Structure 1
Amino acid sequence: MQKITALTFAVTCAITGQAFAESHVDRTGWPDSFTVGTASQGGTFFAYGSGWANLVAEELGVSGGGEVTGGPMQNMALVHTGDVQFGMTTMGPAAESLAGTNPIAPGLQMTNACAMFPMYQTPFSVTALSSSGITSIADIPAGARIGFGPAGSTSDTYFPRMMETLGVDFERRNGGWSDLGGQLQDGLLDVIAFAAGVPVPAVSQLEVQTDVNIIEFTEEEQAKIIEAFPVSAFEISAEAYTTLEAPARSVSMWNFAIANCDLPASFVNAAVDVVMSDNERMVNIHRAATSTLPENWDKNAVLKWHPGAAQWFKENAGADIPDSMIHGM
């Protein structure tokens, strides 16, 4: 795994770290450093996760950074075991992990990963080169080589099933988003099926280098997927990509930041405060963070909340979180 640390930590530790240490927050039990499990380079999880990791490190004066992982499924496992302190997951993989059906560790109920804060919705979108002539799901030829992202990712877990539900016959390929984008451009793939916050960095890069088609679902396709999977209707805004001239019909699944449930409540509370108290800074990290808002706390109906996070949302967002949904209560 590749770790992206907070490069500015040494400078900010003397300033923000000292200021934070002089505050009345109880730092008992705080770790000396922390890691945020993200996903592969070129995807939104990596950019978003590395950004908020660095932001928290700078503000709290604790060394920390993002780490490349296999995405939501692996992050649930890493946070549950405490191999990383924080991570990011999607509600579908989270539910499977709690039920013990995470393919990384079948039978293990990953109940020591707690909800931390709402991130954004993950739209499911399909991209092909314009030169392929593929402009709709129905255009995808039998036996098409489709890249579904890293093995075990949200995209790899759900998009192949969605394609099968829509009657698409394909060869399944896996890899990091940047790598798959290069393969599409080189003609080694016919289609990439992305499940990532928009704009997906790999798609934005492709737009700069070549002409692409961002393929939306028809109303009938969208309805069929919503009926079969834990997703909701979503529109990718026309402003997300230069290629789009109008919003693109899609489906989406919510993402949440997660914390190891055994972390000190004061540490998690302070980290949540850094992220949730200034949305403009988060949007500067990634545009998907426009949905990283306190009022979206209610989009979690799967994971138990970390006590420190629950306290923040109760006090600052009027969250009505029942005790049964808070870890340890």
Structure 2
Amino acid sequence: MTSCTTCSTVEAIRLASALLGEPVELALPVAGGGNNRLFRVQGRAQKSYALKFYPRQEQDPRDRLGQEFAFLRFLHQQGVTGVPAALAMDPKNGCALYDWIDGVMIQAPGAGEMEAMLHFLERLHVWRHVPAAQQLVAASDSCFSPQAAVSQLGHRLARCREVAATEPALQTFLDEEFTPVSRQVLLLARQIPGYAQPLPLSARTLSPSDFGWHNALRRADGEVIFLDFEYAGWDDPVKLVADVLWHPGMDLPESLARQFLEGAKKIYDTSGAGGFGRRFDRLQPVFGLIWCLILLNEFLPERWQRRVLAGRTDAREEVLARQLSRARQRLERILDKS
């Protein structure tokens, strides 16, 4: 079995050739693969493909390879071209082959790019009725009730506190800043009507998860391409929208945040009764707190190990200080919105 930490270009060529069914002569490591390792490989006629490795972790049993591959296959069955085509997968070696898409990161998104995001989400919401959609799994960390969101927050906080005993800066932040705000937010969240009641299937949506400009490219012809669906699946649209607005990779100006939220209300408030908007207003602070803790994941040994497996070499102390600062900024935003 190949490990993505030790996979050489020779091994990448061997695996890509087997997946493609034809000789591959070139494999180039690609920087910026997040928690995964990525190679650009070339087959016949200089055609490029993406060979993506998904590092396995005992502490994280999720099948990110299978989840992304199945979701992309579903999208292509619906005729979507603005995502990579899933070509072949190798579960034993934890890798898959996709079409390579040339493009540039979206550095200065505007209203047009936001409309592309909303259009993509609108199509996903329509496709939830397609029979094949029922074969897709729940999105990673999906939440189908307010109680589930509060429970997820509690689990993340408990794990964070386990490591805080040896991280004084983290301990101080949790005790003196995070806890007072979370008490206030949770008091209100537990008063939400239907607190423990699961969201009806008809109100759920297909979520790309981890959705935003950090996982998108703009092609030379202007088309926006969306990438990275390893956490995608069924979810509450409130969580999907809140995640986009809280994600540090987005950091939207007020005008674009308003455009996104108003567009989302039109997509998900299908009854016209404003139910989505009311649930969003009540649950958004909970997801904001969850994002504070997600930003602190690098304090967790298993998450740091994932960075190492992906070949990232950032200095640990610098990363932890930066993430703590980002979490503090998110907490201040929650206070501003409360």
> What TM-score results when the alignment is normalised by the length of structure 2?
0.23
Q: Which has the higher strand share?
A: 1
> What TM-score results when the alignment is normalised by the length of structure 1?
0.24
Q: Which has the higher helix share?
A: 2
